[in-house]
Structure 1
């Protein structure tokens, strides 16, 4: 259970506009142009890129910031964890970076639609989602802004 009551949680800002393009039939240049258009509206935002990955039974997550590309946050997860868990862990790592940063505006990039959708629905069916919501609450209390894409 979260320490933060549900009524005090604010809904995260999540931009899913790239999902209107079908991945298997869209030219990568279209994605690039659409991404540039979105990021141009958020020019003063620190960009944090996330990824969760799994090779055989080995699972890891990472988040790297545009202001500290040589200092990524990363961790190894228990063997056999799902990609979904790895993607949620990567989002949590990104939020930890944002929380520790002196900057105030962040755009967090994820390639996991299912993780972003769960976050947008304020689901609490996964322990990492609860931790993410706790960090978002702390970050909002610090007057920092997060946009997920």
Structure 2
């Protein structure tokens, strides 16, 4: 098996974020947690992932402070921490990107709706500190010297 490279000490926030979240299974676990999954069996039924892989990903998400394991009667449940809830815009951005580029026109897919009015969310946008919309060409990364 190939050893996973850690980016935990990288100077790049994107690399450190990817290191904390892990892989596609972890992002799908976080998605399911936002959708209300809390128990191991719920995650496994939703994802169809092998138990050993799910156990490893849940442990990593817990170790990274994204999920917390809390007692719930005779069982334990995984709940999003504030750090995990802060991933909501990431999940929404991935969903909106997928809606735009991963489906044929008219192909059905799940939708994320505002519970207050039942309408889809507006597309996420990136704004400068002064409120104006910013494109990739209008940004730069300042590297450490």
TM-score norm. by structure 1 comes to: 0.26
The structure with more radius of gyration: 2
Higher strand share: 1
